[in-house]
């Protein structure tokens, strides 16, 4: 079979898999999370303003992947919540950085308490890119795989269909 036929098969299988996952999540009313961009704001009259998170769309968190209603996949980046950031304590630089991210989400247009994903990158679903095998979703020998742990290399590949089914089931019927 030539590469073009393989590409068509991979694209069709992936499209059907993502489409059926989106339909299942929509039908059950699974909880979504916000996908945002972290943006710096221009100063006004020379006064610096804190960065803010701007809503992009709603996504479902499926383990290491985020899925939107159009069937696009994103790798998880950073995550915070849109909650009151609290006061500055100046005790730990990392804690202050997390507080700044919470503030940026809190000042964005999100529901209070919403989970906000940012710094997520869209997964290239082109069959040629999937066969390269260096992304979160990989095609090997006609099988679609997901890299569930970026640091473990090729040992961290699992079949994509059961992975998505399991993660979608956790969203639609979480364990007691």
pLDDT at 48: 83
pLDDT tens per residue, range 77-122: 999 999 998 887 777 888 888 999 999 999 999 999 999 999 999 9
The residue-averaged pLDDT of 68-76 equals: 96
Residue 32 buriedness (CB in 10 A; 0-12 / 13-18 / 19+): buried
This prediction's pTM = 0.88
How many Å separate Cα 149 from the centre of its chain?
14
**Domain containing 51: what range?**
3-172
What DSSP assignment string belongs to 131-160? HHT-SSEEEETTEEEEES-GGGGGGGEEEH
Task: Give the chain's domain count.
Answer: 1
Instruction: Quickly count: other Cβ atoms within 10 Å of residue 73's Cβ.
Output: 26
């Amino acid at each position: 079979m030539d590469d073009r036929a393989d590409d068509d098969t991979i694209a069709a299988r992936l499209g059907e898999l993502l489409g059926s996952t989106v339909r299942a999540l929509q039908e059950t009313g699974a909880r979504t999370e916000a996908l945002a961009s972290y943006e710096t704001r221009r100063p006004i009259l020379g006064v610096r303003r804190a960065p803010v998170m701007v809503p992009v769309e709603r996504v479902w968190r499926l383990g290491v992947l985020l899925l939107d209603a159009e069937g696009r996949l994103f790798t998880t980046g950073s995550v915070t919540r849109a909650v009151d950031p609290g006061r500055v304590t100046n005790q730990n630089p990392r804690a202050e950085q997390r507080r700044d991210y919470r503030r940026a989400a809190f000042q964005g247009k999100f529901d209070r308490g919403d989970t906000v994903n940012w710094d997520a990158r869209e997964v290239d679903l082109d069959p040629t890119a999937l066969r390269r095998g260096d992304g979160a979703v990989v095609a090997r020998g006609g099988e679609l795989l997901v890299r569930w742990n970026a640091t473990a290399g090729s040992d961290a590949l699992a079949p994509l269909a059961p992975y998505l089914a399991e993660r979608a089931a956790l969203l639609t019927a979480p364990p007691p």
